[in-house]
Structure 1
Amino acid sequence: MEKQYSQVRAMLAITKASLIGIFRSPSAVVFSIFFPLIFILVFGFIGNGGGPVYRIALTPGSDTSNPVYQGLRERSNIRFTDPVDSAQLESDLVKGRITGELAIRPKGGSGDRAAGYQVTFRATTASADKFYSFMPLLENIIFKIDRQREPGASTIATIVPEIRQVREYRTIDFILPGQLGFSLLSMGVFGVAFLFFNLRQQLVLKRMFATPVSKTAIIMGEGLSRVIFQLMTAVVIIGLGYFAFQFSLVHGWVTFAEIMVLCFVALLVFMGFGFIVSALAPNESVIPLFANVITLPQFLLAGTFFSIDVFPKWLQPFCRALPLTHFNDAMRKIAFEGAHLTDCGKQIGFLLGWGVLIYVVAERVFRWE
């Protein structure tokens, strides 16, 4: 008797073969498992931070033995900065690098703590967004301490807030540099990787290599077109931010010109990643995988969408080692703080160091066919 064909067995066989194919595909595994895990970890760290991170400078001579200070220290999103001189402190306040300056002193004199404390918090409008969210947090800490004291006792501390008017720090002043870095890195990696891979696959590079044109001229010619296009994109992004959302350009056209020079340097560095990806990718479907391995950690960890201060301290050194971090830092210093390229030597030097390393690797792995 002829055995009846089993549609169920056929379906299960197809399912098995397809499942094996999926697990043998690096792209499927990485995009389905690895990247979601990264997002969960990153946003989990942000959530565990309890909201914005407040960087506070403690005034010299402040009482650190009182419960108000101890309550602040227990909050994971409040971080006291290392002591600095008065000139540096004033600079940090005006440029919005810290949330504010905190002074905690006994009301009745240096040795009298029975009358409670006076908490003075000085800030500027450069960090106004965090000032107005920090004040309720400080009041809540004092309220909790008062509830634990004897009934009828006066408050443990009174707050004296002081906010001084300086150049206002808007959300766009943080967001736009990050988005510009996002655009430059995406174009440098994805654009160059797909371009040179397709030129190699279609044997265009091989034909070019057979002409009298030098290799350097070929690469520079193709790369220069991407640089020109992306710098035009940068002009549009900055122009929209400035005219529509009051993005800060402290020194006007001078600041704009210095930003364009910084973008040019960063784009050259980021394009090196694209050369490496185009050379290592065995086929076109793997390019997004390799490119995202390079770009995604930088999009999430380099201060593109939020400050790296929200991450645990053990992760921050890795964040500061990323080239996009230094581009974002330099952009914000130039645009909002009024710094010049000469004041961003550390950030630019770090970018150039990455550039040397990347192009050494790119030169070794680059293939013409």
Structure 2
Amino acid sequence: MAGKYNQWKAMWAITRASIRGMFRSPSAVVFSLAFPLVFILVFGFIGGRGVSLKVGIDPASDTTNSVYKGLRNSGGLRLVTTATMPQEQMEDDLRKGRLTAILRIDNGGQAPLPHYDIHVKTSTASGDGAGLLLNILHTRLNEVNDVVYPRRSVASITPEVVPGRAYKSIDFILPGQLGFSLLSAAVFGTAFLFFSLRQTLVLKRFFATPINRMYIILGEALSRLLFQSFGSVIIIGIGYFFFGFTLINGFATFLEMLVLCLFGLIIFMGFGFIVSGIAKTESTIPPLANIVTLPQFLLAGTFFSVDVFPAWLQPVCKILPLTYLNDALRKVAFEGLHLWHLGPQLLILIVWGIVAYAVAIKVFRWE
């Protein structure tokens, strides 16, 4: 007599097959791993360098004085001379915004004390860089003045530095890219998978077996959880070991971030089921999925803080589920909060999950 059919073994078989399929799928690897890694690498390499202005030096300038030497040693300026760029190209780059300004430093005489005239030529293409340059110039001139014209001050400044953590660009970018990776994989992956299973009659063949429908969904969901866990580990690991991503409580923070990733993935898979249910053809899946993912990619604090958007747009940003997952990941990683401190973020994500799965149940089709 044959033994009782084991639903769990069947579920694990579906899980293993689905994981193998995802690792063999270029689109799954690109959206889940390669795409966010590219942004992390880019922002990781350029992060922490601050503002850098490219400024030309007129060939008629006096480059032997203390003012020029102070500007040359300034970390916020990249000085370009005619030794590396012809004067004509400087003028052309200035008009096109490639140079912030062209400086001419004239020696106004040495008696009784040195005096220099600094002519700052900018263009309408310089943008905010012109104002930043003037601030840098004033700062450097004040430093030189303190040396050349020592004088008493009406007030003294007593600096005090308290311990703190440097908030690097990678500390903002990595959680955003991690969240968007989860959203993209959940929506696109789930939608394409179940649409394909219907179209190729795989689901129909499943129905010919004793496996329960719920175990089919659990098997596919578990495969995505495992695959995305692998991707999340790689993303966090590269950020931490190569770019100094902050894990304030070490391994405990890493584990809490993984829990948040899995929680967010489960919520976002509901949107994937909705797209899979309402898509009539495979070609309609990308536009429908983009309706869900693209606004969140742009507005949910993936690259920029929600606070930089106009006041009328911020309420829209603050109802998106990815906004709260990104916020939760950042609070855990950098601020050291624990999962039990994230009640508001988790509550809103749960509400979104309930809504998404309620709609998914209505529109999802097995055949």
Q: TM class by shorter-chain length?
A: 0.5 to 0.7
Q: Out of 188, 198, 203, which is 2:201 matched to?
A: 203
The answer as to whether partners of 1:189 and 1:291 remain within 8 angstroms in 2 is yes
- TM (norm. structure 2) is 0.57
Q: Out of 242, 247, 250, which is 1:249 matched to?
A: 247
Q: Out of 347, 354, 357, which is 1:356 matched to?
A: 354
Q: CA offsets per residue over residues 199-234 of structure 1, 9 Å max, x none?
A: 000111122123221111111111110110011000
1:48 corresponds in structure 2 to: none
Q: Out of 174, 177, 180, which is 2:175 matched to?
A: 177
**Cα displacement (A) at 1:159:** 9.2
Which of 1 and 2 has higher RCO (CA within 8 Å, sep 6+)? 2
1:116 corresponds in structure 2 to: none
Question: CA distance change for structure 1 residues 282 and 342 in 2, over 3 Å: closer, same or farther?
Answer: same
Q: CA offsets per residue over residues 153-204 of structure 1, 9 Å max, x none?
A: xxxx999986544111111000000010111011000111111100000111
2:272 maps to amino acid:
G
Distance 1:296 1:159 in 2: 49
2:278 corresponds in structure 1 to: 280
- TM (norm. structure 1) is 0.57
SS at structure 2 position matched to 1:232: helix
Does residue 333 in structure 1 map to residue 331 in structure 2?
Answer: yes
SS at structure 1 position matched to 2:249: coil
Q: Out of 210, 214, 218, which is 1:212 matched to?
A: 210
The answer as to whether partners of 1:209 and 1:368 remain within 8 angstroms in 2 is no
Q: Out of 292, 295, 305, which is 1:294 matched to?
A: 292
**Cα displacement (A) at 1:138:** 12
2:236 corresponds in structure 1 to: 238
1:271 maps to amino acid:
M
1:260 corresponds in structure 2 to: 258
Query: Which runs of at least 4 in structure 1 moved beyond 4 Å after TM superposition?
Result: 135-140, 157-163
1:309 corresponds in structure 2 to: 307
2:288 maps to amino acid:
F
Question: CA distance change for structure 1 residues 160 and 197 in 2, over 3 Å: closer, same or farther?
Answer: farther
2:175 maps to amino acid:
P
**Cα displacement (A) at 1:364:** 1.0
Q: Which runs of 5+ in 2 are unaligned?
A: 1-50, 52-128, 140-154
Distance 1:191 1:203 in 2: 18
Distance 1:137 1:349 in 2: 46
Distance 2:337 2:319 in 1: 22
Distance 1:213 1:221 in 2: 11
May I ask how many residue pairs the two structures share in their alignment? 225
SS at structure 1 position matched to 2:342: helix
**Cα displacement (A) at 1:330:** 0.3
User: Which has the larger Rg?
Assistant: 2
Q: CA RMSD in A?
A: 2.9
2:164 corresponds in structure 1 to: 166
2:18 corresponds in structure 1 to: none
The answer as to whether partners of 1:250 and 1:335 remain within 8 angstroms in 2 is yes
The answer as to whether partners of 1:248 and 1:335 remain within 8 angstroms in 2 is yes
Q: CA offsets per residue over residues 97-143 of structure 1, 9 Å max, x none?
A: xxxxxxxxxxxxxxxxxxxxxxxxxxxxxxxxxxxx9x969979x99
**Cα displacement (A) at 1:310:** 1.0
2:299 maps to amino acid:
L
2:77 corresponds in structure 1 to: none
Question: CA distance change for structure 1 residues 307 and 231 in 2, over 3 Å: closer, same or farther?
Answer: same
Distance 1:337 1:344 in 2: 12
1:299 maps to amino acid:
F
**Residues 1-369 of structure 1: matches in 2 within 5 Å?**
164-369=162-367
Q: CA offsets per residue over residues 316-369 of structure 1, 9 Å max, x none?
A: 111010000000000000000000001111101111111111011111111111
Distance 1:367 1:240 in 2: 40
Question: CA distance change for structure 1 residues 291 and 162 in 2, over 3 Å: closer, same or farther?
Answer: farther
Q: Which runs of 5+ in 1 are unaligned?
A: 1-51, 53-132, 144-156
The answer as to whether partners of 1:269 and 1:355 remain within 8 angstroms in 2 is yes
Question: CA distance change for structure 1 residues 207 and 311 in 2, over 3 Å: closer, same or farther?
Answer: same
